[in-house]
């Protein structure tokens, strides 16, 4: 009997593509190639230098199919589910990335934003792709949906959770002004009853104050009215915590020092 020829690293990659898979681990490759870990590492390194795979993190690889080799990397939507599985972390795509998925894409985000429980992780970079992680203490109170991707699905914050996070973490949204612009576009997708559910789940009064004031100024009175009852007797705080209070007026209804303009960018 003739012995079976050993599978090469490239043949293994072709097998995975044939199964619709675009990620794998070095441990999986070692089992399939039936050779030493060192030999597998060198074989994958050669494929990486050829631009056919990317080692996104230690031992985790993304296959770059022909249609994406000009950019050097697959879009995050193609592998985020498997990456987070490899990291063993719950997640959801959030903030500006979620807003874009929901159609509020005033500007394309320069990074793919992912929310995880509590402590954050270092960003992941490869080519023109940057994945930034945001740690959220109240992660389990978030509402998410599953969104189809070319290879499966990914978890994405609902429009209501997205709105909450954008005001709760304005730096992730590119600052207060940009957060307001995103909310102006996202508001069309927000359901007032679902927004109230998110408000009750998170129960952070300052976020409710800011959201309510912004929605009212944007003419979204139904959304604002749903929040108004939750801020009665709240202490007066700054609308934009990054700006000084000098010259600010006071909104008694929302309990805010109005130290920033609420105007959607053109």
What average pLDDT score do residues 107-120 get? 88
DSSP 61: E
What does the pLDDT read at residue 264? 67
CA dihedral 256, 257, 260, 261 (to 10 degrees): 60
Query: What are 190-218's pLDDT values in tens digits?
Result: 999 999 999 999 989 999 999 999 999 99
C-beta of residue 93 within 8 angstroms of C-beta of residue 154: yes
The answer to whether residue 1 scores a pLDDT higher than 50 is no
What average pLDDT score do residues 80-99 get? 96
What lies within 8 Å, CB to CB, of 104 at 6+ separation is 182, 183, 185, 186, 189
What beta strand segments (E) does 94-244 contain? 112-117, 124-126, 129-136, 144-149, 152-157, 237-238
What average pLDDT score do residues 242-258 get? 94
Q: Which of 227, 224, 213, 198 is nearest to 257 (CA)?
A: 213
Q: What structural domains and CATH numbers belong to the chain?
A: 9-68 (1.10.10), 76-258 (3.30.460)
What does the pLDDT read at residue 216? 96
Query: What are 6-18's pLDDT values in tens digits?
Result: 889 999 999 999 9
What average pLDDT score do residues 86-102 get? 96
Query: What are 214-231's pLDDT values in tens digits?
Result: 999 999 999 999 899 899
What does the pLDDT read at residue 3? 47
What does the pLDDT read at residue 259? 93
pTM of the complete model: 0.91
Neighbours of 233 (CB within 10 A): 6
What average pLDDT score do residues 33-44 get? 95
DSSP codes of every residue in 67-89: GGTTTTS--GGGTHHHHHHHHT-
Window from 58-62, 87-91, 103-107, 168-172 with minimum mean pLDDT: 103-107
Q: Which helix (H) or strand (E) holds 109?
A: none
């Amino acid at each position: 009997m003739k012995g079976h020829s050993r599978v090469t690293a490239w043949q293994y990659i072709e097998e995975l593509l044939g199964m619709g898979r675009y990620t794998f681990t070095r441990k999986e490759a070692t089992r399939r190639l039936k050779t030493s870990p060192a030999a597998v590492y060198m074989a994958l390194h050669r494929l990486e230098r050829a631009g056919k795979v990317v080692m996104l993190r230690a031992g985790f690889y993304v296959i770059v199919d022909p249609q994406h080799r000009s950019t050097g990397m697959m879009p995050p939507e193609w592998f985020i589910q498997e990456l987070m599985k490899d990291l063993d972390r719950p997640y959801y795509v959030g903030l500006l990335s979620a807003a874009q998925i929901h159609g509020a894409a005033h500007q394309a985000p320069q990074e793919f934003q992912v929310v995880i429980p509590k402590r954050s992780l270092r960003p992941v970079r490869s080519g023109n792709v940057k994945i930034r992680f945001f740690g959220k203490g109240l992660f389990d109170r978030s509402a998410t949906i599953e969104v189809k991707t070319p290879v499966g699905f990914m978890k994405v914050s609902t429009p209501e959770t997205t709105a909450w996070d954008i005001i709760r973490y304005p730096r992730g949204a590119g600052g207060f002004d940009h957060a307001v612009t995103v909310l102006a576009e996202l508001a069309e997708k927000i359901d007032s009853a679902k927004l109230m559910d998110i408000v009750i789940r998170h129960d952070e009064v300052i976020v409710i104050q800011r959201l309510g004031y912004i929605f009212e100024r944007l003419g979204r009175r139904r959304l604002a009215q749903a929040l108004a009852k939750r801020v009665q007797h709240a202490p007066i705080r700054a609308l934009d915590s990054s700006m000084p209070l000098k010259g600010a007026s006071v909104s008694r209804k929302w309990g805010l020092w109005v130290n920033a303009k609420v105007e959607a960018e053109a």
